[in-house]
Structure 1
Amino acid sequence: MDQSPLSSNEEEDTQRLVDQSARSKETKWYTSARYVLVFMACLGFANVYAMRVNLSVAIVSMVNQTAINQNNTNDDNSTDVCPVPVIQNTTIITPTDGPFDWDEAKQGLVLGSFFYGYVVTQYPGGRLAEHFGAKWIFGIGILVTSVFTILTPIAAKTNFALLITVRIIEGLGEGVTFPVMLALLSKWAPPNERSIMTSLSYGGAALGTILAMPLTGIVCEYLGWEAVFYIFGAVGVLWFVFWCFLVYDSPEGHPRINEDEKIYILSSLDQDPTVGSGERNTTTPSVPWKELLTSGPFYAILVTHVCQSFGYYVLLTELPTYMSNILRFDIKSNALLSAVPYIFAWLISIACPILADILIRREILTRTAARKVFNTIATVGPGLSLIGAAYSGCNYILTIALLTLAVGSNGAIYTGEQSNILDIAPNFAGTIMGITNTISNFTGFLAPQLTGLIINHNETLSSWRLVFFLAAGINILGDVIYVVFGSANEQPWNNPRQLLS
């Protein structure tokens, strides 16, 4: 398609933006205000995911496996059960019993109860961040989760209901984080850096899982399961102190930002950098509900987000249990091996936005095509890997390789539908993420509870095969809908000038 030549004013504006971009890029990454924000966001998500997944590993030490196994109907001599391997270098041993007599259904409730609180604060968090700023909502949300993580051992030893209550409150605190961060990035991320800034920030989730799983196993073995919650909670409180002094709601409000960087960010977002934050029209536009709820690209993001989340939460909450009860790994080896897939996911989450930006910049792919390609990697990839794992049986190496691929390919999701929210409606990114995350995170408690009901005292390969097939089918279905209806074009209803006129 032919393009008309730029006017002299447009050429001057373009050259000014290029010059500002070049000066901004000369700023060292560790003094660049926007990448300090990304670094702290990455650590924040690492903290919240560490506090979320540590129970998935610690529960193996908390549960009295001997009592539970007495109620299981599977036969260790059956061909549908992996044999107990010969112990070599103590890599694979029988798990140590814990104090709690929780069957699979109760374990599913403990793991899933977090999400009862998590879904409640998604939309309010995103909308409040758009109105009042994201810094304190994000920080206090993580602080609440940290404090109640420290209280988890006391609650567990007191009674089951109190433990469930504490987990729900942890979810309430953490629920604001994803939508609030997208609202914060909408103020800080230049369009050409949306993929990398979003992926690096949210990539902390995989990093936290990488660190939490092996450390939880090691701490459980040497210090006891209670220490896990004390340590991770305390780290979260410490993170909050640094967050208070290093991060600000917008470039205009940052007292130490380099002036060239501020001009570059604001100009790239079509804001006048010469206007102070106190003079700027900060009226938050009303959500155009009619247009939003009749938008095909919005529903494409919603559906694939829900479907991808189901498969991801099956793996996130149940992988350590599968490693322990089916593949028969001990708590430390279980934790180390369970972390391997998330190392792959973290690397993928860093590589994909870099590759996407190259493909878009060189016009090999349109932005819409790039979003769909990387979303497919993040959904169909895990689906096919889970189908393979369903048939790999007791082949330990092949099963671990397939589960690593299943979890790892999820890392591309930040370059897919999650960045897509900033493409279609940056002014309502927090609201849209709040809506999609609210609905998708119902799968956070449905996935472990449904898994518990399917297994139900029958820890066999065929039972887990059904779980894997279900997760794979839902993942792939979501991507098909996204590929057909998704778009990276900014939607007309995003324009605040039109909405407020």
Structure 2
Amino acid sequence: MESRGSDMDCKEQQQKPLLHRERKDNIHPAPACCSARYCLALLSSFGFFVVYALRVNLSVAMVDMLNTTHQAQDNHSSSVCPAHPSPARPKHNHTASVYNWDSEMQGWILGSFFYGYILTQIPGGYLARRLRPKWLMGLGILGTVVFTLLTPYAADLGGSYLIAVRVLEGVGEGVTFPAMYSMWAVWAPPLERSRLLTISYIGAQIGTVVSLPLSGEICFYLDWTYIFYIFGVVGLFWFVLWAFLAFDSPNTHPWISEQERVYIMGSLKKELSPLGGHIPWQAIVTSRPLLAIVVAHFSYNWTFYTLLTLLPTYMNDILGFSIQQNGFLSALPYLGCALLAVLSGQLADYLRETCCCPTVTVRKSFSLVGMIGPAVFLVAAGYTGCNYTLALTFLTISSSLGGVSASGFNINHLDIAPSYAGILLGITNTFATIPGMVGPVIARSLTVNNTIEEWQTVFYIAAAINIFGTIFYSIFGRGNVQAWAVSYTPQD
């Protein structure tokens, strides 16, 4: 039976994408310009900009939140390579409070976000299917914004209060990706998924690109508290736009054209199962295609979170760069990632629609490039010594190539089970959050002496995990809608 099922999968994967078959039913693509679906992509991209800006800004603010006298006792006060001073700038008087948190407390504060984030991944996917995903997404980010605005007050109360606030921020952000996947399940035509989702999620990379250098400038010219106030206000502005301009489905959108509504709903009618029905939990948790995405997502995020949380440390402690003096250099890898994510989305949909390339081939090929490429250049960066230009180049290429995977395993949830995409994303993102919790801790435990050789070990581990995830996904990944995701009748 297993062999027969595998043969059927292979035959299905060689078929033309669903939309090609449905065009025989007089379903014609609707223009992209000024369309409701691309408006949703831009609006959700702005939302993920807010999400990641609020996530990473504490890493920069932490530098100014610490008592400089207390910081001077840190063993890592100087870099391995000669420092690269920036042009002198006038000093400004800062009135914000500073704190005497030791390195252990700093670690708990910086990592506390992920402990809340991991809690709401699977519940977020379940609630997005049962409730209105628009408001789950909106209220999740609004909650994060509110706690961001309270961050300076929590810090004044004590480190434990700040940890609690960061955990609650993570709880709010945890529902955002599952909720958005549930919305795309009913908004994204099959042959436009790569383009729409990469536009949507590029906001996360842009949020990192903007937040890192801008937070440094805010710290310098104002003080660290304004980082949370300014980005918090931006988040409130997004919520107003989202409340009035986003809608759960094409059928509930008051301004969508009839051509676009028919195009979207017609192209998805054979892929979606009725909402509110029985959720096939057993089939979901035993699905090998889903397990393949879990392993790939976990593996990719190990490298991603290693760079996200430790790249500023590596640039400062090894290469002699200060993130606040060279914020753009710290953000450069994420800019490259954002650009390649969008380009890869265009190419992936072109290959599927114009070249009739099987979905599974596209997903596996883009995952291969987006995971093996970063592994190779990450290891190479560890052997550049104090050649900071070459090191930064390799780190930028490594992170940029990771953007290609956005059109690989990352979208595959919608390919294999669009009706349950939010739940599937919640499951995979739960496991993919673990690297953010343990990866940096393991990396710092391996770099106690802060030598280049120790950092090489960190990069080797990340690369090995990436390669393993690529191989596993290449073997077990699938590109067709699974039988249990289309119709399911519970057994007596």
2:51 aligned residue (44, 48, 52): 48
Say if 1:268 and 1:187 are closer, same or farther in 2 by CA, change over 3 A: same
* Identity among equivalent pairs (%): 43
1:443 aligned residue (395, 416, 435): 435
1:473 aligned residue (458, 464, 470): 464
Q: Which residue of 1 aligns with 2:15?
A: none
Q: Is contact 1:379-1:479 (8 Å) kept?
A: yes
Secondary structure of 2:326's partner? Answer: helix
- Residue 489 in structure 1 maps to residue 480 in structure 2: yes
Offset at 1:353?
A: 1.2
Give the stretch that moved more between structures: 105-114 or 179-188.
Answer: 105-114
- State the TM-score, normalized to the length of structure 1: 0.88
Secondary structure of 1:328's partner? Answer: coil
Offset at 1:367?
A: 1.2
Q: Is contact 2:105-2:159 (8 Å) kept?
A: no
Q: Which residue of 2 aligns with 1:434?
A: 426
Offset at 1:47?
A: 0.4
C-alpha distance in 2 between matches for 1:410 and 1:73: 30
Q: Is contact 2:362-2:408 (8 Å) kept?
A: yes
Offset at 1:73?
A: 7.4
Offset at 1:334?
A: 3.0
- Residue 187 in structure 1 maps to residue 186 in structure 2: yes
2:23 aligned residue (14, 17, 29): 14
Q: Which residue of 2 aligns with 1:276?
A: none
**Map 1:410-425 → 2, pairs under 5 A:** 410-425=402-417
Mind listing any 5+ residue stretches in structure 1 that lack a counterpart? 4-9, 273-279
Secondary structure of 1:441's partner? Answer: helix
User: C-alpha offsets along residues 286-337 of structure 1, whole Å, 9 cap, x if unaligned?
Assistant: 2222222222211110011011111111111111222222222234333211
Q: Is contact 1:214-1:335 (8 Å) kept?
A: yes
1:382 aligned residue (367, 374, 377): 374
Q: Is contact 1:116-1:442 (8 Å) kept?
A: no
Q: Which residue of 1 aligns with 2:141?
A: 142
Q: Is contact 1:17-1:268 (8 Å) kept?
A: no
C-alpha distance in 2 between matches for 1:193 and 1:57: 37
Mind listing any 5+ residue stretches in structure 2 that lack a counterpart? 1-9, 13-18
C-alpha distance in 2 between matches for 1:258 and 1:172: 36
C-alpha distance in 2 between matches for 1:159 and 1:356: 49
Q: Which residue of 2 aligns with 1:301?
A: 293
**Map 1:277-316 → 2, pairs under 5 A:** 282-316=274-308
Say if 1:178 and 1:88 are closer, same or farther in 2 by CA, change over 3 A: closer
Q: Which residue of 2 aligns with 1:29?
A: 33
Give the stretch that moved more between structures: 65-74 or 434-443.
Answer: 65-74
C-alpha distance in 2 between matches for 1:101 and 1:161: 13
C-alpha distance in 1 between matches for 2:321 and 2:23: 59
User: C-alpha offsets along residues 222-268 of structure 1, whole Å, 9 cap, x if unaligned?
Assistant: 11111111111111111101100001111111111111111111111
1:460 aligned residue (442, 451, 454): 451
Offset at 1:422?
A: 0.5
Q: How many residues align?
A: 473
* AA matched with 1:89: P
Q: Is contact 1:38-1:200 (8 Å) kept?
A: yes
Offset at 1:362?
A: 3.9
* AA matched with 1:300: A
Offset at 1:418?
A: 1.4
C-alpha distance in 2 between matches for 1:400 and 1:226: 30
Offset at 1:383?
A: 1.1
- Residue 67 in structure 1 maps to residue 70 in structure 2: yes
Say if 1:135 and 1:158 are closer, same or farther in 2 by CA, change over 3 A: same
Q: Is contact 2:306-2:440 (8 Å) kept?
A: yes
C-alpha distance in 1 between matches for 2:459 and 2:451: 13
C-alpha distance in 1 between matches for 2:21 and 2:412: 30
Q: Which residue of 2 aligns with 1:6?
A: none
Q: Is contact 1:320-1:334 (8 Å) kept?
A: no
User: C-alpha offsets along residues 13-67 of structure 1, whole Å, 9 cap, x if unaligned?
Assistant: 634544x31xx21xx623x111111111000001000000111222233334663
C-alpha distance in 1 between matches for 2:290 and 2:275: 24
Q: Is contact 1:297-1:485 (8 Å) kept?
A: yes
Offset at 1:180?
A: 0.9
- Residue 370 in structure 1 maps to residue 362 in structure 2: yes
Offset at 1:150?
A: 1.1
Q: Which residue of 2 aligns with 1:161?
A: 160
Say if 1:321 and 1:107 are closer, same or farther in 2 by CA, change over 3 A: farther
Say if 1:15 and 1:38 are closer, same or farther in 2 by CA, change over 3 A: same
- State the TM-score, normalized to the length of structure 2: 0.89
Secondary structure of 2:255's partner? Answer: coil
Offset at 1:74?
A: 8.8
Say if 1:157 and 1:377 are closer, same or farther in 2 by CA, change over 3 A: farther
Say if 1:72 and 1:327 are closer, same or farther in 2 by CA, change over 3 A: same
- Residue 399 in structure 1 maps to residue 391 in structure 2: yes
Q: Which residue of 1 aligns with 2:170?
A: 171
Offset at 1:90?
A: 4.5
